[in-house]
Every structure is written in structure tokens, then in C-alpha cells.
A and B are shown apart, each in its own frame.
Chain A
């Protein structure tokens, strides 16, 4: 079963706008990671946030984690056409034997 569920499933925005996507999960986690996948390619790691962290930044990316609500959000600011991709959250949970469990992903289209 999927541990992480992304919302929305798809998102279409204009270049320069911000893109926000959310991830909900079911069991306690050790950390949560976000990955990007360009069409037909492998996944690329974006950012990792540990369970004792609430917010993390990396360039134009901002990730928040609310363990009480079992949810995380990924914000991409000032989006660019090159940000067009699918974004996946992945949880690392003790209950899952520390294996990463991926959600279904959010498809983001940034229109120029």
C-alpha cells in the first residue's frame, strides 16, 4: 500500500508562479524525501527533511513537515518551464523496515 499520497495529481501554472503540492502519509516516519522525475527518466533527489525538522529550504524549493498531521508540502517558487516534471514524496518509516515508500506523484506543467 502507498504510504505517501500526493495532492493534487496534476498542476498547471504559468512561468513565474509558485507551485505547491502536498503529501500525506499514514505511519510515523524517520524522514521524508522529495524527488523529481522528468518525462521518461529516472528520479532525482531534491530534498530530505527529518522527522524532527519542520521546514527546509534548497534554492527555490521549500519543504514543510507537520508530523502531527502526517503531511508535507513542497513549494517551488518562481517556477520555470524546466520545472515541468512529476514530483514524488517518499517516506522512510520504521514500520516499513526503513525502506522508502513512494506516493503516486504530482505532475506539474509550467507553461512559458
Chain B
């Protein structure tokens, strides 16, 4: 089975701190994603990556950056955490289909358990 792990289930940080959220997948998936989930808003895509060292902005990239130095690991960085970044953060991976390619078909995404981040 595909396993996607996230470094922390719960995290409490202070405003202005730099925060690192780590995600690791063990099935050699090309694509990796970071979402945040807020009540009533569903999941919103922050950043995604379809290859090592490649990254693309999602719908809400402001205040975030990402790093993908190895295929299995995708990190989300909050450069200076703010209270409005308190949320559930979900990492996901999928096997094939680079976004934007003509005829590209997304496979299912496999999600990690999530990190509930509170910024005080």
C-alpha cells in the first residue's frame, strides 16, 4: 500500500516563526501536493510538484514556499507564520500525469494523515 507520512500530527507555533512541514511518500510517485483544509472551504491547493526540484503554485501560494530535493520528500515552508495560517495541512501524492500536459489524466491522490497547525 502507498504510504504518505507527515512529520507531525499537531504543531503549535508562534507568530513570526519559520515553520517546516515535511511529507514523505514511499511509492515513487512523481506528483506531490500540499493543501490546506478549512471548515466550509474544502481543500485548497497551496503548491504542487511533478518532479524533483520542480514546483508550481496552486490557488493560495502566498505566505508559503516549498522544496523538493528528493523524489520522495516534499516540504512546505511557512516563512513567517501568521495566525491566519492556522489550519489543517494535508500532503498528497499521485503516480502519473504532469499537470497541464495535453490529455493528461490524473490518477487518484494518496493523502497523508494531516498536520493540524496552530499559530498563536
Contact = CB atoms under 8 A, between A and B. Distances in A.
B34 interface: no
A82 B105 CA distance: 31
A105 B88 CA distance: 15
Contacts of A100: 33, 45, 106, 109
Nearest to A44: B111
Interface residues on B, range: 20 to 34
A41 B91 CA distance: 11
Interface string B90-114: 1010000101110011101111111
Given A98-B97, A99-B45, A41 B40 contact: no
Given A41-B114, A43-B90, A30 B106 contact: yes
Contact of B113 (A30, A42, A48): A42
Listed residue (A43, A48, A92, A102) with the most chain B CB atoms within 10 angstroms of its CB: A43
Interface in A53-85: none
A45 B108 contact: yes
Interface of A: 2, 4, 30-31, 33, 35, 40-45, 48, 50, 88, 90, 92, 97-105
Closest 8 CB pairs of A and B: A42-B111, A45-B108, A102-B43, A102-B42, A104-B42, A43-B111, A92-B106, A98-B99
B90 A42 contact: yes
Contacts, number: 65
Contacts of B111: 35, 42-44
Contacts of B109: 43, 45, 90, 100
Nearest to A9: B40
Interface of B: 4, 33, 35, 40-45, 48, 58, 90, 92, 97, 99-101, 104-106, 108-114, 116
A104 B48 contact: no
B7 to A, nearest CB: 14
B100 A98 contact: yes
Given A99-B58, A99-B99, A104-B40, A30 B105 contact: yes
